[in-house]
Structure 1
Amino acid sequence: MKTDVQINKSEKSYLFRFNKHVYVYLISVLLASLFWFLNALEKTYFVLVHFPVTYTGIPAGKMVLNELPPQVKIQISGKGFNLLPITLLNKNNKLSIDFSQVKFNKKSEEIYRISASDLIEQVKNEIPSNVKINTLNPDTIFLHLNEKYSKTVPVKPLFHAVFKDQFSFSDTLKITPSHIKLYGPKKELDKINALYTDSFYIEYPEKKLTVNIGLQNISGHLELETNKVEIVIPIEKLTEKKIRVPVQAINLPDTIQIKTFPQWIELSLLVPLSKYDAIDESQIELTVDYLDYSEKKKSRLLVKVQKKPEFVIINHTKPEKVEFIVKRK
């Protein structure tokens, strides 16, 4: 038993001496590394850093036509001590160019440039004075300005709808906003007469729908007041309604009269339930064309629908063609 105790004490003494040597070795390594690091920081280095750029102060009534660089790559040099904060705190590196404060070097009527010297002055405000700026990429920022004009155009929906029997639109679509203002160069605005929605599809709807939809992309340098619209699509069940509508002749010479037989046409309509009582013959216009007789020598004239409410479907026309008598005045 005594022998066992002596062996344990011997082992503990050995472990203590071993751990002491390890600690001394580690401390020596750390001190050597520290001295090496401090010595390294005394040397001169060349470093490439990225400075994100934000732009403000665009002149009123003007717009930028070219793509401005989102960042400037800068090669700097200096002692490691001085470069360390810049490289370690790289997220804080940034440039802010205020066009209202920059003195432009005019190149042409609409193109301006921010020179390397202007950029260097901006960078100097962000780095220590004992750090040297060697190169910038880009070393010049070009600004292409143009007059900003505006134009308001209608929005037109692009969609396809499939309905169940006896269902359809019950009124005109309501688009909000129905018109959108565009901003940009006059030449580009002159080419735009309407904005179109992204296409969408509705299948077998039975009640009013509300759709929020984006607008199709437009090329060039145009800016939109908004790029989304809301479309309210009124949908109802339809019911049949029969009415009688008079026929009118069109394209008549001043010396000619036409009398049709019959003079009134019976129409079978499909109308929304909510609009049933509001629909009458005054909202529908039926015509026959004198040119069908004078040029094509037809003996019966086709009855054509010239006008009707958008939400009314003409299911049947009786008769579809009429006989007629031509009279001179």
Structure 2
Amino acid sequence: MRFVSEFAKLIRFVKKEINRNTLIFGVFFCIASLFWIINALQKTYTVQIPIRIEYTHIPKTKAIVTSAPDTVNTEVSATGYALLRFYMYSSKTVDIHIEQLLQTQSNNDSLLRVVLQPLIQSSGVFSNSITVNKVVPKIVQFAFAPIHKKKVKVVARYSIECSQQYQLQHNPTTIPDSVFLYGASELLQTIDSVYTTEIFAQDVSQSFSRKIQLQAIRNVQLSDTVVTVNVDIEKFTEQQFTIPITAIHVPDTVLIDLMNHSVQITMFTGMSHIQKNSPQDFKVIADFTKQNTQTGEIPIEIIARPKWGRIVKITPEFVGYIIESK
């Protein structure tokens, strides 16, 4: 029993000493780490920092015809303290006031040459304790042209999944359905439409409307930046049509008899368009020149179809034939 008692005392002593030593080690480790951080922050570093550039206050009577970088790379020198404050609090964005810069030059209003480093230094994005050594690129140059106007349509971009037995009644529409663009004539000639940001919706069973932002176009101003997109949803039903097959491109020296003279087409059609579809809206062909040389079958093609509805099945998809003598 005495042995057990002495052993228990030894265990308690070891645990006590280990806990005490661990605590002492932890305290000194924290103190050493603090001094290391303080020492590191007092040193001077040279680092590369990307800065975002925003070109604002472009005169409404001028169109920019050259591209300019959205981001420039700056090389700066500063203490660790100054860099830490910059990363924590700075906006990292510099506004360049185009109209103000144009007013400072008197000889040419169709060309603007901007030296970036002085503008970045005076912008306040870097504090006085940070030295800007270099900016790449050093200079940004703008060429201007007279402003022109063009009307283009608005196209809605969408990814919409409807609930079972529902579908889009038609492509989403926008209000307004067109906008005016203002920019250089050469640039406007390449643009026929503007697009909305993409609309995402799942398991949709009811029509809806949303305010959607238009996608920006570089160096072009839009008369409207937000449009209303209307999405019409309706139930659909199944329609079936039996349509005769017309054989085409059959050589004059050959007479063929198709093994199927008609196909059955299954469509999903919105309830509002059922009466608008008829068999006369379809035209189905079998092009003899496209026959499969191994099976001797000709693929079925639909070259005309109703405007409304979605074809989901064609039976058969291929047709065989028998050559008859003339």
Q: TM-score, normalised by structure 1?
A: 0.53
Aligned AA for 1:159? Y
Aligned AA for 2:232? P
2:312 to 312, 315, 324: 315
Cα shift readout 1:243-285 (whole Å, capped 9, x = no counterpart): 1123345666788886644232112222112222221123333
SS in 2 for 1:303: strand
Q: How much has 1:211 moved relative to structure 2?
A: 2.5
Unaligned 5+ runs, structure 1: 1-53, 73-96, 114-141
Residue 265 of structure 2 corresponds to 267
Cα shift readout 1:82-116 (whole Å, capped 9, x = no counterpart): xxxxxxxxxxxxxxx9x9xx9x94437x3489xxx
Aligned AA for 2:242? R
Residue 241 of structure 2 corresponds to 243
Q: CA RMSD in A?
A: 3.9
Residue 171 of structure 1 corresponds to 170
Task: Give the conservation status (yes or no) of the 8 Å contact 1:245–1:284.
Answer: yes
Aligned AA for 2:300? V
Aligned AA for 1:186? S
Residue 162 of structure 1 corresponds to 161
Matched ranges for 1:107-126 at <5 A: 107=108, 110-111=110-111
Task: Give the conservation status (yes or no) of the 8 Å contact 2:63–2:147.
Answer: no
SS in 2 for 1:191: coil
Mapped to 2, the partners of 1:201 and 1:55 lie a distance apart of 34
Aligned AA for 1:182? L
Aligned AA for 1:234? D
Matched ranges for 1:120-199 at <5 A: 145-199=144-198
Cα shift readout 1:200-245 (whole Å, capped 9, x = no counterpart): 21111112222221111211x2111212222222211111122112
Number of aligned residue pairs: give it: 214
Aligned AA for 1:299? G
Q: TM-score, normalised by structure 2?
A: 0.53
Matched ranges for 1:20-169 at <5 A: 62-65=61-64, 68-69=97-98, 105-107=106-108, 110-111=110-111, 145-169=144-168
Mapped to 1, the partners of 2:224 and 2:315 lie a distance apart of 49
Task: Give the conservation status (yes or no) of the 8 Å contact 1:258–1:325.
Answer: yes
Mapped to 2, the partners of 1:223 and 1:166 lie a distance apart of 42
The answer as to 2:304 corresponding to 1:303 is no
Aligned AA for 2:319? V
The answer as to 2:284 corresponding to 1:283 is no
Aligned AA for 2:161? V
Mapped to 1, the partners of 2:322 and 2:151 lie a distance apart of 50
Task: Give the conservation status (yes or no) of the 8 Å contact 1:168–1:311.
Answer: no
Residue 230 of structure 1 corresponds to 228
Mapped to 1, the partners of 2:286 and 2:229 lie a distance apart of 37
Residue 200 of structure 2 corresponds to 201
Aligned AA for 1:245? I
SS in 2 for 1:204: strand
SS in 1 for 2:321: strand
Q: How much has 1:193 moved relative to structure 2?
A: 3.2
SS in 2 for 1:269: strand
Aligned AA for 2:309? V
Cα shift readout 1:112-150 (whole Å, capped 9, x = no counterpart): 89xxxxxxxxxxxxxxxxxxxxxxxxxxxx996412223
Aligned AA for 2:296? S
Unaligned 5+ runs, structure 2: 1-56, 67-95, 114-140
Mapped to 2, the partners of 1:246 and 1:259 lie a distance apart of 13
Mapped to 2, the partners of 1:323 and 1:190 lie a distance apart of 51
Task: Give the conservation status (yes or no) of the 8 Å contact 2:278–2:306.
Answer: no
Mapped to 2, the partners of 1:216 and 1:68 lie a distance apart of 23
